[in-house]
Chain A
Amino acid sequence: MPAPIRLRELIRTIRTARTQAEEREMIQKECAAIRSSFREEDNTYRCRNVAKLLYMHMLGYPAHFGQLECLKLIASQKFTDKRIGYLGAMLLLDERQDVHLLMTNCIKNDLNHSTQYVQGLALCTLGCMGSSEMCRDLAGEVEKLLKTSNSYLRKKAALCAVHVIRKVPELMEMFLPATKNLLSEKNHGVLHTSVVLLTEMCERSPDMLTHFRKLVPQLVRILKNLIMSGYSPEHDVSGISDPFLQVRILRLLRILGKSDDDSSEAMNDILAQVATNTETSKNVGNAILYETVLTIMDIKSESGLRVLAINILGRFLLNNDKNIRYVALTSLLKTVQTDHNAVQRHRSTIVDCLKDLDVSIKRRAMELSFALVNGNNIRGMMKELLYFLDSCDPDFKADCASGVFLAAEKYAPSKRWHIDTIMRVLTTAGSYVRDDSVPNLIQLITNSVEMHAYTVQRLYKALLDDISQQPLVQVASWCIGEYGDLLVSGQCEEEEPIQVTEDEVLDVLEGLLVSNLSAPVTRGYSLTAIMKLSTRFSSVNRIKKVVSIYGSSIDVELQQRAVEYNALFKKYDHMRPALLERMPIMEKTATNGPTEIVQTNGETESSALDSKHPPSITQPTNQANDLLDLLGGNDVPVIQTALPTKPASAGGELLDLLGDLSLSGIPPMTAYNKNGLKIEFTFERSNPNPNISVITIHASNSTEADMTDFVFQAAVPKTFQLQLLSPSSNIVPALNQGSVTQVIRVLNPQKQQLRMRIKLTYTLKGAPVQDLAEVNNFPPQSWQ
């Protein structure tokens, strides 16, 4: 068989291929040749073949059949073979491969080889991709080499140790003795890798950290020598001596000085020196300054030093080099929490960075700007941010819009300003706002009672201009549905009221229904809005017509709504005014979804109860539908499904269910009475917060024996929160001689019907008893 072609030739040939198919053909041919050569166990050409295989692997072709060949090369005595063999191992034999472990023995032998370059190859391979098992097996060898006087091997052993520690953290202790005099080396390579090793150990173990704190003076000395030393050609980078080592030392100092006053003090001077004397004209100087600033901010430095650091960052912001500006913005973002005031001083520069051309810088500037917004600068900052929102790339718009909403919510100086800001965002970046902002905005608008007329007017005007941005259209149609009467009557105080007739408003809403630009959700909003106007406008006939037309709409959602609204006109007309009344002010729940059920004595039992509950307030447009589902011929008896929030004075039929509204004298009730155990509930209203009911349970025992280890547990549906205080005792005395009392506090912000599931455990006459029960007979006054 002819000798396999040389690597060079192969590369040259492949590069002449003009198409992907041609290249693939050449490679397949060569692979076949290589495979047969491997089969022949040819020692002379194995190296060449594996090299070619590695080239083809880099082009993206499979090379797994060369894995074992790499192992054979590693085992060979020839240096050339070993070099290619180890390279192949690093490229093809990562720890996910089965044959990976077979390398262990070869590596072990090579770690003890007489030639340092072979040892180096072994250390490198182990240190780059050794698996945990391999590391465990060979850690001893590495530790031995860490103590050698050969600096070439020592530096590699140090980094290999770093890898071993990363893979098998328990082995860290093993390397501790070898680190004793690592820092007294003169060789920069060994110094650098030693610092890396020390950093890794300190980061992983607080004990090591305390142990190595004593090295701080030595590190400071080494750093000082580097700065003061004269020109050294082999380590110099643009006039700075060994910046890589300097940065690593600064990083280790950062870790050692964190939350330790003494160490921080010891390094104060050197940090100040580096911060003031480093040459900033080239990137390398700035790299060192950057690391210094990070260190100063992290350790317990004195305030003068911190100010120096922030000023350095401020200077970075004005640098011509984009990379440095980016790095400055990133660091300021990290420090804005702790040194807020100092960063505020650079606010104007940061805001200027919003106008930068570079995408990365703009993003960082935006994040930082939002972090800097506070009550004082909100107006100015918002102007800049809104301007940014207008002109930025689409990828930013969603994040920026969310940020604006959050900031506006926290710091809005006035309700009108808040609404104006929201309007501005909706009109400029309307299609990019997140879905959950629509319900949030609706809630905000509902709660700003005095601004209703103004809001609906502005939204109406915005709709006239543009109906393509769905969130804007949705919020606008909801508002028009709610406050259309204010719009038509021209009541606006804040600005010049516009003259709008009912027909014009209905024209706009109907326009949304038929427009191609409207999403199905938007159509739903506008149909509901039209329906609501039937109680606010006088042109009911027109609305009836629209609703009946959509009763045969193809869109199932629209059809359902229209049919139900139709029913509202026909059968339930007497309820229509009550159902379509103005929305009450919504309580802001902490999360937008149903609140989590509270743990009671460690148990949570609520899943079965959830399914019966309608969705929470934050879906206002489904409100009308839900009510209709309940009242319009469903089989579920009304009493079991809780009603969404409506004032108790709504609709005739509802009043009967809700009963009397008087709050005083809530009668007690028996919650449970079985097997001699009776549990009574008595009620109180908690004065400061009318949403909290305080229930006291009284457990009494009519059997002959005491009930010991009595534990009362309760669970409530998701919309409630429950707090169980400690019981008076765990023993319910026999024969009603006494009772155990326990206080339960229930938070019921949505005024829904209270239901509870209770679990009782106790021991009676030596036998454990457990029971579950549902308590549904709460008097209405207890939860209204």
Chain B
Amino acid sequence: MRFLLLFNRQGRLRLQKWFIPLSNREKNKIISEMTLTVLARPPKACSFLQWRDLKIVYRRYASLFFCCGLEDQDNELLTLELLQRYVELLDQYFGNVCELDIIFNFDKAYFILDEFIMGGEIQETSRLCLARHMEEADAFQETVDEYEKNPTY
């Protein structure tokens, strides 16, 4: 996978994960092109399309579009399952996740994504394991009190 983007129906970006180094200009160009292309598709259309040398897989969940750019050997149908799994993970974490959760807790959305995917490949296929890891990691985050009392360096 080269990139994963989340954006809503108005084209506002909610999450961007890049697995290849690109300049800001290129990233913005890809974002705007993806947004335009995907939002222009009719609702019942095929989830796959060809863009430059990449396969684009997208799916709409409520008000958010999840869009990935895949390389040639990646399995498109499996990527649909991957997107489904990510949404389920978000759902499990936030409880009935909606776009607002991702807006206000974008950092957590990123943390979950980073536990699920690394460098464009899946690192954990078990829902339970992943949920447990997130819980434990969150527990490591200091409480306000601890944060203020402990030295930074």
B29: Cβ under 8 A from any A Cβ: no
B94: Cβ under 8 A from any A Cβ: no
B62: Cβ under 8 A from any A Cβ: no
Chain A 230-249 residues near chain B, CB threshold 8 A? 233-235, 237, 242-245, 247
Partner of B141, one of A80, A235, A283: A80
Stretch of A263-271, A322-330, A566-574 contacting B (4+ beta carbons < 8 Å): A322-330
Chain A 135-164 residues near chain B, CB threshold 8 A? 152, 155-156, 159-160, 162-163
Chain A, residues 568-596, CB within 8 Å of chain B (1/0): the string is 00000000000000000000000000000
A286 to B80, CA, bound (A): 11
Verify B77–A283 contact, CB threshold 8 A: yes
A59 to B118, CA, bound (A): 24
A291: Cβ under 8 A from any B Cβ: yes
Verify B77–A79 contact, CB threshold 8 A: no
Partner of A323, one of B21, B76, B129, B142: B76
Partner of A117, one of B75, B126, B140: B140
Verify A11–B128 contact, CB threshold 8 A: no
A663 to B112, CA, bound (A): 84
Stretch of A29-37, A123-131, A507-515, A543-551 contacting B (4+ beta carbons < 8 Å): A123-131
A87 to B73, CA, bound (A): 29
CB-based nearest B residue for A14: B103
CB-based nearest B residue for A356: B46
Verify A192–B122 contact, CB threshold 8 A: yes
Knowing A80-B141, A83-B111 are in contact, say whether A234-B128 is a contact too (CB < 8 A). Answer: yes
Q: Which residues from A are CB-within-8-Å of B78?
A: 243-244, 247, 287, 290-291
Stretch of A70-78, A300-308, A466-474, A678-686 contacting B (4+ beta carbons < 8 Å): A70-78
Partner of B48, one of A44, A81, A155, A327: A327
A196: Cβ under 8 A from any B Cβ: yes
Knowing A77-B151, A162-B121 are in contact, say whether A290-B77 is a contact too (CB < 8 A). Answer: yes
Interface of B is mostly: mixed
Partner of A360, one of B50, B118, B136: B50
B33: Cβ under 8 A from any A Cβ: no
A500 to B67, CA, bound (A): 61
Stretch of A50-58, A401-409, A527-535 contacting B (4+ beta carbons < 8 Å): A50-58
A394: Cβ under 8 A from any B Cβ: no
Chain A: minimal CB distance from B151 (Å) = 7
Chain B: minimal CB distance from A78 (Å) = 6
B61: Cβ under 8 A from any A Cβ: no
A95: Cβ under 8 A from any B Cβ: yes
Verify A43–B80 contact, CB threshold 8 A: no
Chain B: minimal CB distance from A762 (Å) = 52
Chain B: minimal CB distance from A660 (Å) = 59
Chain A: minimal CB distance from B51 (Å) = 11
Partner of A234, one of B21, B75, B123, B129: B129
A96: Cβ under 8 A from any B Cβ: yes
Interface size class of B (residues with CB under 8 A): 35 or more
Q: Which residues from B are CB-within-8-Å of A188?
A: 124-126
Chain A, residues 346-373, CB within 8 Å of chain B (1/0): the string is 0000000000001111010000000000
Chain B: minimal CB distance from A428 (Å) = 25
B9: Cβ under 8 A from any A Cβ: no
Q: Which residues from A are CB-within-8-Å of B46?
A: 322-323, 325-326, 358-361
Knowing A80-B141, A83-B141 are in contact, say whether A360-B45 is a contact too (CB < 8 A). Answer: yes
Q: Which residues from B are CB-within-8-Å of A184?
A: none
Verify A324–B77 contact, CB threshold 8 A: yes
Knowing A43-B152, A77-B152, A162-B119 are in contact, say whether A124-B114 is a contact too (CB < 8 A). Answer: yes
CB-based nearest A residue for B49: A360
A235 to B103, CA, bound (A): 29
B53: Cβ under 8 A from any A Cβ: no
Partner of B124, one of A79, A84, A189, A360: A189
A781: Cβ under 8 A from any B Cβ: no
Verify A75–B153 contact, CB threshold 8 A: yes
Verify A283–B81 contact, CB threshold 8 A: yes
A153 to B137, CA, bound (A): 14
Chain A, residues 8-26, CB within 8 Å of chain B (1/0): the string is 1001000100000000000
CB-based nearest B residue for A94: B21
How many residues belonging to A are interface residues under a CB distance threshold of 8 Å? Answer: 75
Verify B150–A77 contact, CB threshold 8 A: yes
Interface of A is mostly: helix
A91 to B114, CA, bound (A): 12
Chain B 74-91 residues near chain A, CB threshold 8 A? 75-78, 80-82, 85
Chain B: minimal CB distance from A359 (Å) = 7
Q: Which residues from B are CB-within-8-Å of A688?
A: none
Partner of A76, one of B14, B118, B136, B152: B152
Knowing A127-B118, A128-B118, A189-B125 are in contact, say whether A77-B153 is a contact too (CB < 8 A). Answer: yes
CB-based nearest B residue for A247: B78
Chain A: minimal CB distance from B17 (Å) = 8
CB-based nearest B residue for A130: B119
B23: Cβ under 8 A from any A Cβ: yes
Verify B121–A327 contact, CB threshold 8 A: no
B145: Cβ under 8 A from any A Cβ: no
A60: Cβ under 8 A from any B Cβ: yes
Max chain A C-beta neighbours (<10 A), residue from B50, B125, B126: B125
Q: Which residues from A are CB-within-8-Å of B111?
A: 83, 87
B8: Cβ under 8 A from any A Cβ: no
Chain A, residues 668-689, CB within 8 Å of chain B (1/0): the string is 0000000000000000000000
A162 to B125, CA, bound (A): 18
Q: Which residues from A are CB-within-8-Å of B63?
A: none
A193: Cβ under 8 A from any B Cβ: yes
Knowing A87-B107, A244-B125 are in contact, say whether A323-B77 is a contact too (CB < 8 A). Answer: yes
A237 to B127, CA, bound (A): 10
Q: Which residues from A are CB-within-8-Å of B14?
A: 58
A115: Cβ under 8 A from any B Cβ: yes
A11 to B106, CA, bound (A): 11
A156 to B114, CA, bound (A): 10
Chain A 84-101 residues near chain B, CB threshold 8 A? 84, 87, 90-91, 94-96
Q: Which residues from A are CB-within-8-Å of B85?
A: 237
A361 to B49, CA, bound (A): 9
A556 to B124, CA, bound (A): 70
Instruction: Name B residues whose Cβ lies closer than 8 Å to a Cβ of A.
Output: 12-16, 18-19, 21-23, 28, 44-50, 73, 75-78, 80-82, 85, 103-104, 106-107, 110-111, 114, 118-119, 121-129, 133, 136-137, 140-142, 147-148, 150-153
A-B contact pairs, 20 of them (CB 8 A): A58-B13, A58-B106, A78-B152, A90-B114, A96-B23, A131-B21, A155-B124, A156-B118, A160-B119, A188-B125, A193-B122, A193-B123, A237-B85, A244-B81, A287-B78, A290-B78, A291-B75, A324-B77, A359-B46, A360-B45
14 additional A-B residue pairs with CB within 8 Å, beyond A58-B13, A60-B28, A244-B82: A54-B106, A77-B151, A96-B21, A131-B21, A162-B121, A245-B125, A284-B81, A290-B75, A290-B77, A322-B45, A326-B46, A326-B48, A327-B77, A360-B46
Closest 9 CB pairs of A and B: A287-B77, A234-B128, A234-B126, A43-B152, A189-B124, A287-B78, A360-B46, A322-B46, A159-B118
